[in-house]
Amino acid sequence: MRLMRKIAAIVAAGMLGGCAVGGLVGESAPATFDLEAPQVERMRARGIQITVYPPVAVKTIDTVEILVKGGNGRVAYFSGAAWGDRLPALFQARLVETLANSGAFRAVLTNQDRVTGDLSLAIEIRDFQVDATSGAPEAVVDVYVKLVDERTSSIITTKRFHARVAAAAPDPNAGIHALNIAFQQVAAEITTWVARRG
């Protein structure tokens, strides 16, 4: 047990060693990263318009910084790396892209379109980080989704989507790559689920 704790502490230290709070004088601009929409198979077209609202998330996730969790509940962010936009905004944009690419809907909207859809998605991002608490670093994406009938303002159904992907190494590039894979799994699953339920 002590050995496992030591291993976890070493890995977490390696991950968190590349983490820091930005804003230091003379610090160069961080490298920016994007999420990538997954490749999805074309589905049977439905005459439905769906609206994807901006996901909600706690403050540690609702940021451009890339979250890393270490031992004892320690929270930090990768130094020198950032998302190209706040994470919920990126999540929304790439999920909209995935839903549209599926061909399953007449239109895929956001709250900025000022058009009412037939259905909508209300999303809560519960986890979106590299987790180094158990020794081997891995990306964790956990979201809770509500499918809502916009005409009656009633919830049709809900579902939790969860993915864990091992990072190839304890460094920012490997961690961000694993986060992208985990996101793609979740986005593809959400798309299939909505197409079937819709």
Q: Does 30 map to a domain?
A: no
Q: What is the CATH number of the domain that holds 181?
A: 3.40.50.10610
Element (H, E) at 164: strand 154-166
Q: What is the pLDDT of residue 104?
A: 95
Q: Does 81 map to a domain?
A: yes
Q: What is the pLDDT of residue 138?
A: 96
Enclosing domain of residue 88: 2-24+45-197
Residues of the chain where predicted confidence (pLDDT) is lower than 50:
1-26
CA–CA separation, 198 and 157 (whole Å): 10
Contact 36, 180 (CB under 8 A): yes
Q: Does 37 map to a domain?
A: no
How many of the other CB atoms lie within 10 Å of CB of 80?
A: 14
Q: Does 36 map to a domain?
A: no
Q: Does 33 map to a domain?
A: no
CA–CA separation, 123 and 64 (whole Å): 18
Residues in the chain: 198
| Domains in the chain, number | 1
Q: What is the pLDDT of residue 1?
A: 40
